[in-house]
Amino acid sequence: MKIELFTMEYLQDYYREFTEEIAKYQWPDPFETLEDAEDLLKEFLEEMERGETLLLVALSEEGEFLGSSEVHGLTEDCSELGVWIKKSQWGKGYAYEALKAALDIARTKYGKKEFFYEADVRNIGSMKLLHKFENAYEIVEQDVEKLTTDSGKKLELQGFIMKEKKHD
């Protein structure tokens, strides 16, 4: 797997693969139009230029788009993490690799040591993913928050603070 900075070259893939099933347990919904995707991703690219966001694409060795990982709020004390992998590639370890790459870049390039990870408690894959980082990060559970999105999705979001462990 390869990880690269997001460019608009991947707009079509991002738009096509960020489906209802991918967004089922997430606050954002799939994009209604390609233009909606383009607007949001341009915003993320502008945030990247300002050093506020890190948006990465996960690619197969052959260059196939697999998904995305991101770190938002790089200028804050506790940056927020995100990751998604297209459905046809679930269960292959790509989410871990994509999120690990985002964490590594945030740590080395931006000096970040604390992150916020949030997942719906019903999203078993995302909850399992978090625990793969227990050796490198102290993980502090937050309360579960039940809420309804603007589009009517009912979510049960649990946040976690991930603090880099000190290594001797």
Q: Range of 92's domain?
A: 2-164
43 in Cβ contact with 64 (< 8 Å): no
The pTM of this model reads 0.93
Question: Whose CA is closest to 106, among 148, 60, 69?
Answer: 69
Q: Domains in the chain: how many in total?
A: 1
Total count of residues recorded for the chain: 168
Q: Which residue numbers in the chain have pLDDT < 70?
A: 167-168
In this prediction, residue 166 carries a pLDDT of: 80
CATH number at residue 112: 3.40.630.30
* pLDDT tens sequence across 118-160: 999 999 999 999 999 999 999 999 999 999 999 999 999 999 9
Q: Is 166 helix (H, G, I), strand (E, B) or coil?
A: coil
Question: Count of H helices and E strands in the chain?
Answer: 5, 7
